[in-house]
Amino acid sequence: MFKPRSGGQDRFLEMKAHDRMIDGKPRQKRLLEYLLLLLWVLMFPWSAVSHSAPVTDLRTLLPNQDLPAGWTRVDGPRVYSNKTLFEHVNGQAILYLSYGFRRSVFVVFQNVREPENQIEVDIYDMGEVLNAFGVFSRFRNDDRPGGVGLDSYLDDRSLLFYRGRYFVMIYATETNATAMKQMAATISAKIGDSFRPPREIDLFPKNGLKAGSIQYFPEGLLGHTFLGRGFQAGYVDKDETNLQVPGREPLLFLAVFKSPKAAKDALTTYKSYVAKKGKVFASTPEAFGSDAWEGEDPYHGQLMVVQRGHHLLGAAGFTGKRGESHLDAFIKNIR
């Protein structure tokens, strides 16, 4: 009945035209159509949200009259666009831009009684929840949740969190968890949307998962250009001294491609790379089927890679058979 067309606006006009033509139809049928129309109108913003959600003036998300007692604003708000972010965070702007940065706002608050005691707040509009999570995951350092937003990180002088399309960084010059948490709660409440975290987070098997270790990369997953974008998560190794790669715990990864063919091509490219730089084993566990290989990567250790649909799934750096069992559990979570 409501046949989709190319654009949401066209659909809306089509609906309105249709609405004008229904005069004379039985009242019940008209009512039903009104209800469907209402349902569609309610659903429209949800379906279009990732690309065309209305732009919020970031300054309205900052604590203002609702600042914790004893605090006042001393600098800002300063708004940065993708053209000016370099002025604020120098070369690190490239990181934000790679995650789809739209704009940000920066402000400094000061404790009235202790001027040296300051708190800096940055709110970054990353366009969508996936990117907000992604940039958060690159800054979070360990699992120290601060109880705000969809996920957060708290230490003595910083509080990071993401909610919806926003990534928020709060830095304090002195140890001040209470004021940071109050400001974070205020900002989070003002963001106030109901997005859920990226669904891929739940695909990683929980057994052995290192809490707070899941990261999203918009490009260069595992340090390889050809793997493109995807997720990785660290797993606890019983023997930390047995790490195959210095500085790197064993991990599972999920590379996401536009099509199964692109995923298969990447599987082949990766295999060729490992064959050249490391070693590809003659056989692969049968359970993984033909679209899989096993080998040894000089920088990731023992490696198993499997293609499933649009995805490449892999286990890297595990010792013995542990990688195989983790990967097997991972595959079962992918539909």
- 40 or 86: whose CB is closer to other proteins? 86
Beta bridge pairs of residue 235: 209
**Least Å distance between CB 231 and other proteins?**
13
- 181 or 300: whose CB is closer to other proteins? 300
What ranges make up the beta strands (E) of the chain? 71-81, 103-111, 118-125, 151-154, 158-163, 166-172, 215-217, 230-234, 251-256, 279-280, 292-297, 301-308, 311-316
Beta bridge pairs of residue 234: 251
> 């349902």: which residue's tokens?
39
- 185 or 227: whose CB is closer to other proteins? 227
Inter-axis angle of helices 27-47 and 8-21, to 10 degrees?
A: 170
Q: What is the number of residues in the chain?
A: 335
Distance of alpha carbon 128 from the chain centroid: 8
Please give the C-alpha separations between residue 257 and each of 99, 150, 152, 200, 267, in angstroms, as whole numbers.
17, 26, 28, 14, 11
**Least Å distance between CB 79 and other proteins?**
4
- 98 or 319: whose CB is closer to other proteins? 98
- 95 or 209: whose CB is closer to other proteins? 95
- Residues 47 and 2: beta-carbon distance below 8 Å: no
DSSP state of 246: T
- 3 or 258: whose CB is closer to other proteins? 258
> Alpha-carbon distance 8 to 115, whole Å?
52
**Least Å distance between CB 253 and other proteins?**
11
**Least Å distance between CB 115 and other proteins?**
12
- 222 or 331: whose CB is closer to other proteins? 222
> Alpha-carbon distance 226 to 257, whole Å?
10
For CA atoms 295, 226, 103, 93, give the dihedral sign.
positive
- Residues 156 and 175: beta-carbon distance below 8 Å: yes
- Residues 206 and 260: beta-carbon distance below 8 Å: no
**Least Å distance between CB 239 and other proteins?**
16
- 66 or 174: whose CB is closer to other proteins? 174
**Least Å distance between CB 90 and other proteins?**
5
**Least Å distance between CB 147 and other proteins?**
18
**Least Å distance between CB 171 and other proteins?**
9
**Least Å distance between CB 128 and other proteins?**
19
- 173 or 325: whose CB is closer to other proteins? 173
Q: Which residues bind other proteins (CB under 8 A)?
A: 78-81, 83-84, 86, 89-92, 94-95, 97-98, 103, 116, 138-139, 141, 158, 160, 173, 215, 217, 219-220, 222-226, 245-248, 298-300
> 């739209």: which residue's tokens?
102
- Residues 77 and 106: beta-carbon distance below 8 Å: yes
Distance of alpha carbon 155 from the chain centroid: 21
